[in-house]
A and B are shown apart, each in its own frame.
Chain A
Amino acid sequence: MMNVTAYKRSLYCIGFSTILITAGCQTQEATEEIEVPISVEGKTTVSYWHNLTGRGQEALEQVVEDFNRSQGEIFVQAIYSASSEGDDQRLLTAIAGGNPPDLAHFDRFKVAQYASENSLESLTPFIERDQFEMEKYYDYASLETMYDDEYYAIPLTTDSRLLFYNKDRFEEVGLDPENPPASINELEDAIERLTTFESGNIKQIGMVPWTAQGWFYTWGWAFGGEFYDEETGELTLTDPKNVEALEWLVSFAEKYDAATITSFDTAQGSNEMDPFNLELYSMKIDGPFAISNIKQYNPDLNFGVTPIPTPTGDQFSTWSGGMSLIMPKGAKNQDEAWEFMKYFGSEEGQRTFNEMDNQMSVIDTVNEDLYRDDPIMSEFIDILPQSNARPPIANGQFLWNQLDKMVEYAIHGRGESEELLKKVHKRVNERQ
């Protein structure tokens, strides 16, 4: 009989919780204000999907509000789409199902790939009609919005990569914190001095070059390599400078045993347990987005930023990504959506958003205004004119993954640098 009673009890349990939850929510509903999709009488509603949370969401909603207030015909409705960064299955299925929003917040890196699939509306007709100036954006940023000589996105934000270094650790080992490494040789020397052992085990590591934002693009460009010829549209992965960069990474892996030192930063959402923040690594390559993390988890960390060292100690460079605004194929209110794109892409929209979300704008003057007084952010702005964008090709994501895997293979001793680069080149070209 025992089990029958327990069975009934469980059923009651389910029933009860239903009632409780239902009741609880109904009272809640009355008090809680939840944004309901509003279709404002007489205005055209433009739906805008984004995946920003926290401050970013507030900033975006501010821009939308300013726009909505500024004119009488259009109402933009921002909808949080709950997608994680990188995986946007909701947008993907919506476009494939012919039921997309009018606008979407979108990683600029993916513009070319989506455009090549004919899944974005071209903005060129609008840009030409209204003589919208794409020239006001950084060159690399507008380049990244293009595919096949047409524009498919309006750039919104950008970033760049620099060398972060722990000033206190520098002082401890007798390095000048105001004079960080500029050349690869100086970097190697600093790494060696910053790496300490305790009874045979590593206690602190100077730096692991391929962690955080130390992608192959980062080092390739730092070594003076090129990945893409804009004129011919051809990939140039096997550039001797790229080979040199990969060989350097391999030599580092051999010296410090790749398996032991590669372990911290692979998981999704693990930015927070960054070994640099924990002061286990003394240097890393990272972007401006890493600053808020440091402030949150280790506010006392005394750090500086400097351009990524190069073999010659000058001619510094970096690369940048960022977000943009797109109009998915099949968007219903295109003219109205374009009006909002123009506003978000203007100096005014850029200033409102980037000031609130503390991000770098794609317009030079906005950045000067917002960040010139900040010594760290100034470094990030100053490098932007020398910045690069990843090749805007249909296979951009495939190339990215292939390069990422290639570095892994190289540092784990599975192939010669030049051979590996050639292989990637071949694979990506086969799919062009």
Chain B
Amino acid sequence: MSAITQKRMKTIYAHSVLILASVLFLVPFIWMVSTSLKPLTQVFSFPPEFIPRPIQWENYVEATKYIPFWKYTFNTAVITILSTIGVMISCPIVAYSFAKLKWRGRNVLFVITIGVMMIPAQVTMIPLFLLFNQLGWVGTNLPLIVPAFFGVPFSIFLLRQFFKGLPDTLREAAKIDGASEWRIYWQIMFPLARPAVLAIALFQFMASWTDFLGPLIYLTNETSYTLSLGLQQFQNQQGSQWHMMMAVSTLMTLPIIILFFFMQKTFIRGITFTGIKG
């Protein structure tokens, strides 16, 4: 077999595996989108139907009127964007310190960093609330934003793994050239970690964007509610507005999908270390 046909075979093979798996992974999303376009009476027909009849685009219009959608989107966006910027500033630098710098106390601090993730949030929720209450932050969105600027353990750990994976030779070469630690970090290491930094940004974006418990506890004023609190308003003991709830859910996924679509291009292999050094 020639190299070209072999390559083509490989491509065909990959496509078929991917298409098959894609179908499986698409089911929940398609169900969500199709529900968002159904008349309410069709949502729970049995056996389940995937194709809405008729397609009700007006669900989207109704849903965005049923709750103050744009106001909630704005509130959610403020929290999400600021906290995402927060982790993008704080986490890489802390992670770099853990991964590449040798300092006394580093290992202990790192163990603590991982350790704090092992305590379920359920038991720290009340004391944390009392703390923010003391600070006078309850009723504002500060508890949902400010902590991100001081680092998130999950992201710190992830970035540490990436920084540790970068060759030390780069750093040593730069040191010999007399570069400061900050310069090494900012001009050499940070650019190399971009895919990972974007990954943690995406995770933070998703987490803030869909967070329910945080806004529920800390936002006490209806004008500052977020979309996830808005979703709750479609639920009702006497019959939830499933079609509208799924319409808003679908709209909520759009920024994340767009962000992901562009971000993932950074994953394309081909960083050449030698090229960046200068």
Contacts and interface: CB of A to CB of B under 8 A. Distances in A.
Are A and B bound to each other? yes
B129 A96 contact: yes
Contact of A10 (B223, B241, B262): B262
A21 B44 contact: no
The 6 closest A-B pairs by CB, nearest first: A25-B74, A6-B265, A28-B70, A82-B229, A278-B46, A97-B133
Interface stretch (B15-23, B170-178, B231-239): B231-239
Given A2-B270, A55-B238, A277 B81 contact: no
Interface string A143-187: 000000000000000000000000000000000000000000000
Given A28-B70, A32-B70, A6 B238 contact: no
B274 interface: no
Interface stretch (A201-209, A290-298, A345-353): A290-298
B238 A292 contact: yes
A17 B215 CA distance: 22
A53 B217 contact: no
Dominant SS at the B interface? helix
Nearest to B240: A269
A261 interface: no
Residue with the greatest number of chain A CB neighbours at <10 A, chosen from B43, B236, B266? B236
A34 B71 contact: yes
A84 interface: yes
B217 A6 contact: no
A30 to B, nearest CB: 11
Given A97-B129, A297-B44, A25 B71 contact: yes
A54 B259 contact: no
User: Which secondary structure characterizes the binding site on chain A?
Assistant: helix
Contacts of B100: none
A54 B234 CA distance: 8
Given A7-B266, A96-B126, A269-B240, A21 B73 contact: yes
B84 interface: yes
Interface in B229-278: 229, 232-242, 255, 258-259, 262-263, 265-268, 270-271
B241 A54 contact: yes
Contact of A56 (B238, B258, B259, B265): B238
Given A22-B77, A82-B232, A2 B129 contact: no
A402 to B, nearest CB: 21
B74 to A, nearest CB: 3
Nearest to B276: A4
B238 to A, nearest CB: 4
Interface of A: 2-4, 6-7, 9-10, 13-14, 17-18, 21-22, 24-25, 28-29, 32, 34-37, 52-56, 79-80, 82-85, 89-90, 93-94, 96-99, 269, 271-273, 277-278, 280, 289, 292-293, 296-297, 299, 357-358
Nearest to A94: B220
A32 B223 CA distance: 12
Given A53-B236, A90-B216, A29 B46 contact: no
B58 interface: no
Contact of A96 (B130, B236, B270): B130
B270 A7 contact: no
A93 B129 contact: yes
A7 B73 contact: no
Contacts of B220: 79, 90, 94
A231 to B, nearest CB: 34
Given A3-B195, A56-B236, A93-B126, A13 B222 contact: no
Given A53-B233, A53-B236, A296-B239, A272 B223 contact: no
| Most central of B138, B195, B239 by chain A CB within 10 Å | B239
Nearest to B215: A82
Given A2-B268, A293-B239, 13 more contacts: A3-B194, A3-B266, A4-B191, A7-B266, A28-B70, A36-B223, A82-B215, A82-B216, A93-B217, A96-B129, A97-B129, A269-B240, A277-B44
A37 B221 contact: yes
A278 B129 contact: no
Contacts of A96: 126, 129-130
Q: Which of A28, A97, A292 has the most chain B CB within a 10 Å cutoff?
A: A97
B124 to A, nearest CB: 12
A14 B84 contact: yes
B71 A32 contact: yes
B73 A6 contact: no
A273 B238 contact: no
A98 B73 CA distance: 30
Given A28-B71, A54-B238, A82 B266 contact: no
B126 to A, nearest CB: 6
B96 interface: no
Contact of B235 (A29, A84, A89): A84
B7 to A, nearest CB: 21
Contacts of B235: 53, 84, 269
Contacts of B81: 14, 18
27 contacts: A2-B268, A3-B265, A3-B266, A3-B267, A6-B265, A9-B262, A13-B262, A18-B81, A22-B74, A29-B71, A29-B74, A32-B70, A32-B71, A34-B223, A36-B223, A53-B232, A53-B234, A55-B238, A83-B232, A89-B125, A89-B217, A97-B138, A271-B239, A272-B240, A272-B242, A278-B44, A297-B40
A89 B259 contact: no
B123 to A, nearest CB: 13
A231 B125 CA distance: 40
Contacts of A296: 40-41, 239
Nearest to B219: A82
Given A32-B70, A96-B126, A97-B133, A293 B263 contact: no
A90 B266 contact: no
